[in-house]
Structure 1
Amino acid sequence: MENKRINGNDLIALGYKENHAMGVALKINKKRLGFTREQMLVNFKNVLDNPELYLEDAIFKPLAEILLKIDTIEKETISLKEKPGTYAVYGEENIEEGAKKQMDVAMKLQVTVAGALMPDAHQGYGLPIGGVLATKNAVIPYGVGVDIGCRMALSVFDLPASYLEDHADKLKNILMEKTRFGAGHGYLKHERVDHEVLENALFETHDFIRPLKDKAWTQLGSSGGGNHFVEFGMIEFTKADDVLGVNKGKYLALLTHSGSRGLGATIAAHYTKLAKKLCKLPYEAQNLAYLDLNTAEGQEYWLAMNLAGDYASACHQVIHDKIKTALGVELLAKVENHHNFAWKEQFNGEEVIVHRKGATPASKDVMGIIPGSMATPGFLVRGKGEESAINSASHGAGRLMSRTQAIKTLSSTDLKAMLEDNGITLLGAGMDEAPMAYKDIHTVMAAQAGLVDTVATFSPKIVRMADDGSRED
């Protein structure tokens, strides 16, 4: 009991309210600073009762200050709707309560028009991963996410699937030579490639973006950490697809998942902080702080977000071009889609801002890619345009357990056996990305049968991921 973490319920029992003071107290508690749990609780109670006595205290001063001005803060706070609006939930039986509670809060925002929760949903920051939220003329940086424009890209080559076994060593070498992974990692000056995205005027005219150009150039064509990957696999079309121009058959394919790297993360951090400063929401909703698109700040973020999305796309293009050239083959088809983004769309006859944080666009006939894990299938899909889902679908299988839980509880022996059983070669990655840490992709796909049609199935065979413990996703 001595080291049990102090949580919000403990503070409520002392008399704290669910407001910003509670947030400050919990931050202080994370450090513990040599106090026992009981000593911390006594201190928290004393500061609550007599905050003026702690204004010079090195540890509790921030808490005392916010307690003394909490009434003023709450007067400036933008109120939430009394009750959350209704929203569609797909695969509800497999979605954790934390994700639903976050969605409930998002549905109370004054700017919210509609919402939906995808079957891969799990708890995140602000809007849950797998959350879709339509707002009126407002964009939520944390509703977009940290890895702005993170996306999937699939290249189908004019080679049979048998190429995977016949040239396995060549394919492994290509992945090792033509890709680079991990937070902060990039290319030296003599290794860099050029791309038109670097000519975007924002790199010259946008005060915040300008200093980020060199980092963007350094990381162009690289992949992040966490669940980002570059992999060769077999894609099977059980029937010809006239739209893509691909005949029935099994082909060699390349699938990639990554985002906007350091550029996007820096943009997200800056504008999330700015949104919180300008948009004072109640404590439970503070990570949903939004920017009005009629303001200069809102327009700045919108432009920066779109640049990050274009940059993420450019990274995938560079990777796919390098690998296609190394293979010396022709491209039969290429499909790309992004998540962690906000779009201007029509919904119920009005223009709204649709945030898809870990959700795939699935408007009528729109193509998308929904991966499983390093050892389970992914799916090339075509959207059905289901309005109750705000024209969306899942962006993957979704996490079943946290990274920390996966590392502590999953067995490397079990992972090795699973990879061998499925004929998969893994280059890099850690136990936090083991397939067992994810929901069953077939269950997820069944829960969204009304949202997308499956066009082809992708089976990963040679998978490369970050092996340095990076958590960029």
Structure 2
Amino acid sequence: MAKLKLRGKDLIDIGYPQNKSISIAMDIMQKHFKKESKPKALAMLKEVLDDPEKYTADGTFGKIAEALQEAKKTEARQLNTTRAPFTIFGENGIEAAAKEQLYTALKLPVSKAGALMTDGHFGYGLPIGGVLATENAVIPYGVGVDIGCRMCLSIFDISPSFIEGHKDKYVGILGTHTKFGPNEVHRSPNDHEVFERDAFREIPLLKKLKDKAFLQLGSSGGGNHFVEFGIVEVLGDENEFNVPPGNYVGVLSHSGSRSLGGNVATQYTDLAMKQTPLPKEARHLAWLDLDTQEGQEYWIAMNLAGDYASACHHDIHKRISKALGERPLAMIENHHNFAWKEIVEGQELIVHRKGATPAQKNVLGIIPGSMTAPGYIVKGKGNPLSLSSASHGAGRQMSRTEAKRSITQSELKKVLKDNGVTLLGAGLDEAPMAYKDIKKVMAHQTELVDVVGTFLPKIVRMDRG
């Protein structure tokens, strides 16, 4: 007799939910009924599907029944009819589509509070600039695809005049010691303690991603990721990073967790969408319960990806410091695509910041402008209305497609020349005109952060675009 041949589609066709019940059922049927006819096997599985409670204690079909009952618990989650409390900063400058994304997120059964930063714009799941606090649940797309995307600034005791006076040297350092996009890596990658983490051995997905993560250490992604030399101005008489007021050479970098974070985001978003199916408008906001194995795995993987992103920045800055022959006076850094366990109004919640800077009381962060506009070193005020958050940059005012269509190379060259900026790489979609006015963005968040310094880009390296 021919061996039983079942496909996942066969089970879906008789009504099985697209969750682990399918793989469990196929394994059991191959183990116990491999000589059975396909129609009879499907009839048996249909009986379990129709009344899983009847089979819960069954020695053969019990595991299928359990998986089916779990699926019923997560079927067709409905959104709440009312929104959780929220605040929008700089609302008049934010497109309606981004606000609608926040409104949808605030109706999730797990949502407790939210906010939208003044640089907010449309994204996937949460809008860029979106902040959402949930109860015992993490939303992979609320964190973002580029897990742990962050800023890092090194301040050097070098006169800013050296940038112009030794421009070829500084251009050469960025050209040699930074790598961008999916294919560029350092010829001799450095090792890092992050690769000793147990998670790389214990979680199958991370185990598969480790070798590529090692090769990509110290590199940056495409899009709006950059490494740049510029002029740091430290303001005020005292600061938390112990650098006297004045002007310095700085290195500012922006990138995330590379292929490692992207693959983690994709796999666990797919799992979340199967475990907590939601109405169409909210489907990318599917969450993982932190009491489940999948939720705990994602939390571990997310934190590892965040630490890996930090390690990439440290490697970049270490290479540049060595080329300069200088140690930095200070380093300031922060994630802006991440989720944290934080106390909100006396309750521990999961605070997602997707394109938003942590701004707890006296916490330092970096809010960049465009390649010709200043960035800001900021100190948080811990404003509860923003869930202790601030913007992560200027925010786009043009989509990438619109920017490529409406901005010319000659326009880009002129604005770079007018601002004394040397650009290595980058496409028209990253032209300064594609971004909002960072000064207006900052003016809308004076109640969220204090400005303690600025960074003015002078030599900018990005992917070729």
Q: TM-score, normalised by structure 2?
A: 0.83
Match of 2:109 in 1: 110
Deviation, structure 1 residue 73: 10
Match of 2:173 in 1: 174
Equivalents in 1 of 2:283, 2:433: separation in Å? 33
Equivalents in 2 of 1:187, 1:255: separation in Å? 19
Equivalents in 2 of 1:247, 1:271: separation in Å? 45
Amino acid at match of 1:198: F
Match of 1:406 in 2: 403
Equivalents in 1 of 2:434, 2:223: separation in Å? 13
The farther-off stretch of 156-165 and 239-248 is 239-248
Give structure 2 stretches of 5+ with no counterpart. Answer: 1-70
Secondary structure of the 2:397 match is coil
Q: Is the 8 A contact 1:212 1:263 kept in 2?
A: yes
Deviation per CA, 1:386-425: give whole Å up to 9, x if none: 0000000000000001000000011221111111111100
- 1:40-79 matches, within 5 Å, as 76-79=75-78
Match of 1:291 in 2: 288
Match of 2:89 in 1: 90
Deviation, structure 1 residue 238: 3.1
Q: Is it true that 1:165 corresponds to 2:143 in the alignment?
A: no
Q: Is the 8 A contact 2:179 2:219 kept in 1?
A: yes
Deviation, structure 1 residue 330: 2.6
Q: Is it true that 1:436 corresponds to 2:433 in the alignment?
A: yes
Secondary structure of the 2:81 match is coil
Equivalents in 1 of 2:86, 2:387: separation in Å? 10
Deviation, structure 1 residue 205: 1.4
Q: Is it true that 1:387 corresponds to 2:387 in the alignment?
A: no
Equivalents in 1 of 2:456, 2:74: separation in Å? 55
Q: Is it true that 1:419 corresponds to 2:419 in the alignment?
A: no
Secondary structure of the 2:201 match is helix
Percent of aligned positions that are identical: 59
Which residue, 425, 450, 454 being the options, matches 1:453? 450
Give structure 1 stretches of 5+ with no counterpart. Answer: 1-71
Number of residues paired by the alignment? 395
Which residue, 257, 265, 279 being the options, matches 1:260? 257
Equivalents in 1 of 2:384, 2:182: separation in Å? 37
- 1:16-35 matches, within 5 Å, as none
Match of 2:230 in 1: 233
Match of 1:363 in 2: 360
Amino acid at match of 2:369: G
Q: Is the 8 A contact 2:239 2:452 kept in 1?
A: no
- 1:274-353 matches, within 5 Å, as 274-353=271-350
Secondary structure of the 2:141 match is helix
Deviation, structure 1 residue 85: 2.6
Q: Is the 8 A contact 2:74 2:275 kept in 1?
A: no
Deviation, structure 1 residue 257: 0.1
- 1:196-215 matches, within 5 Å, as 196-215=193-212
Deviation, structure 1 residue 86: 3.3
Q: Is the 8 A contact 1:158 1:331 kept in 2?
A: yes
Secondary structure of the 1:160 match is coil
Deviation per CA, 1:89-140: give whole Å up to 9, x if none: 0000100000000000000000001000000000000100000000000000
Amino acid at match of 1:259: G
Distance 1:129 1:242, change over 3 A: closer
Deviation per CA, 1:55-105: give whole Å up to 9, x if none: xxxxxxxxxxxxxxxxx9999201110122331000001000000000000
Q: Is the 8 A contact 1:241 1:455 kept in 2?
A: no
Q: Is the 8 A contact 1:228 1:466 kept in 2?
A: yes
Distance 1:141 1:393, change over 3 A: same
Equivalents in 2 of 1:172, 1:73: separation in Å? 59
Equivalents in 2 of 1:354, 1:386: separation in Å? 14
Match of 1:127 in 2: 126
Q: Is it true that 1:249 corresponds to 2:249 in the alignment?
A: no
Q: TM-score, normalised by structure 1?
A: 0.82
Secondary structure of the 1:408 match is helix
- 1:138-157 matches, within 5 Å, as 138-157=137-156
Equivalents in 2 of 1:187, 1:161: separation in Å? 28
Q: Is the 8 A contact 1:146 1:265 kept in 2?
A: yes
Deviation, structure 1 residue 243: 2.3
Amino acid at match of 2:263: T
Deviation, structure 1 residue 161: 1.2
Runs of 4+ aligned structure 1 residues displaced above 4 Å come to 72-75
Distance 1:75 1:244, change over 3 A: closer
Q: Is the 8 A contact 1:233 1:253 kept in 2?
A: yes
Secondary structure of the 1:346 match is strand
Amino acid at match of 2:138: V
Secondary structure of the 2:455 match is strand
Equivalents in 1 of 2:74, 2:162: separation in Å? 66
Equivalents in 1 of 2:308, 2:237: separation in Å? 33
Deviation per CA, 1:180-207: give whole Å up to 9, x if none: 001243234xx11111111111111111
Equivalents in 2 of 1:449, 1:92: separation in Å? 15
Equivalents in 1 of 2:350, 2:183: separation in Å? 31
- When Rg is computed on C-alpha atoms for both structures, the one with the higher figure is 2
Match of 2:61 in 1: none
Q: Is the 8 A contact 2:360 2:380 kept in 1?
A: yes
Deviation, structure 1 residue 248: 1.4
- 1:176-191 matches, within 5 Å, as 176-188=175-187, 191=188
Match of 2:5 in 1: none
Secondary structure of the 1:244 match is coil
Secondary structure of the 2:278 match is coil
Amino acid at match of 1:243: E
Q: Is the 8 A contact 1:239 1:249 kept in 2?
A: no
Deviation, structure 1 residue 155: 0.2
Deviation, structure 1 residue 240: 2.9
Which residue, 184, 190, 193 being the options, matches 1:193? 190
